[in-house]
Amino acid sequence: MENYRPITKATADKFLQLLKTKGPQSAANLAAALRMTGEGARLQLLKLAEEGLVVSATASRGVGRPVQIWDLTPLGHAHFPDTHVELTLQIIETIRKELGEEALEKVVAAREFQQQEKYIKALAGINGLAERLAQFATIRSSEGYLAEWREEEDGFIFIENHCPICCAATQCANICTSELNTFRAIMGDGAEVKRVDHIIAGDRRCVYEIKELVISR
C-alpha cells in the first residue's frame, strides 16, 4: 500500500526541497504538490521527523481545526550543501589573522570583480530585464542557490532559497555586500536592486526587489 511504502532518498529529497523552496507547509499541501495521499505524506513526514530533518508546529488559521505545519530543522537545512565550508572558514580566518582585515577586504573585492565578469559574460546579448533574470536564476541554481524569480506589479522579485556560502558570509559580512554589488552590476544602470530578505539576518531566504528605472530625457 502507498501509505506504508518506506521512504526513499528520492522521495525524502522532494519533501526537503519543497520545504526549502516554499517554506513551512501542511502535509496536505505537500501531498498535493507530490501527487500522493495526505496520509501518505504525513507518514513520510513522520519518518523524516524521526531522522531529525523536519519538525511540526500547530498553527491556527481562523475558523476550524488548527493545522499542523511542517518545516526544516537545522539538520534539514544542512541537507543542502555548503561549499567547502570548513576550508573556506579556515582561509578567511587565516587571512584575517596573518594579513589583516584590509587584506581580507581586497580578497572579497577581487572575488566580486571575478563574479561580475563571469556573470556579465554569461548574460551578454540578453537585454530584457525579465530575460536576464531568467538566465541568471538558471546560473545561480546551478551554483546551489535554488534561485527563482517572478514578475510583480511594479517590478520583479528574485529569490534565493539556499545560500551555499552562508557560513563564509556569516564570518565575513563584506561577502554579502559584495553579492548585492554584483546583483546591481549585472542588472545594469537601468534597474534598481534592493535586498528585502536576508538569510544572514535570520530570514528563511534572500529576496531581492528589482525595479526598472524610468530615465527622463
Q: Which position has the higher pLDDT, 86 or 67? A: 67
pLDDT band for position 7 (50/70/90)? low
Q: Which domains does the chain have, with CATH numbers?
A: 2-77 (1.10.10.10), 85-212 (3.30.1380)
pTM of this prediction?
A: 0.74
Number of residues that this document lists for the chain: 217
For 130-157, b where at least 16 C-beta lie within 10 A, e where not — what string?
eebbeebbeebeeebbbbbbeeeeeebb
Q: Which 8-state DSSP code applies to residue 202?
A: T
Provide the pLDDT for residue 112: 96
Tell me how far apart the terminal alpha carbons of the chain are, to the nearest angstrom: 68
What three-state secondary structure class fits 162? Answer: coil
pLDDT band for position 3 (50/70/90)? very low
d(CA 132, CA 188): 10
At 94-151, the pLDDT tens digits run 999 999 999 999 999 999 999 999 999 999 999 889 999 999 999 999 998 999 999 9
Q: Does the pLDDT of residue 6 top 60, yes or no? A: no
Cβ-contact 69, 56 below 8 angstroms: yes
Q: Does the pLDDT of residue 85 top 80, yes or no? A: no
Q: If you search the block for the grid coordinates 528589482, which residue do you land on?
A: 210
Listed in sequence order, the DSSP H helices in the chain are 9-22, 27-34, 38-50, 74-77, 85-99, 101-122, 129-142, 166-171, 174-187
Cβ-contact 64, 4 below 8 angstroms: no
| Helices 101-122 and 174-187: angle between axes, nearest 10 degrees | 30
Q: Which of 128, 155, 161, 160 is nearest to 210 (CA)?
A: 155
At 41-59, the pLDDT tens digits run 999 999 999 999 999 998 8
What three-state secondary structure class fits 71? Answer: strand
pLDDT averaged over every residue in the chain: 89
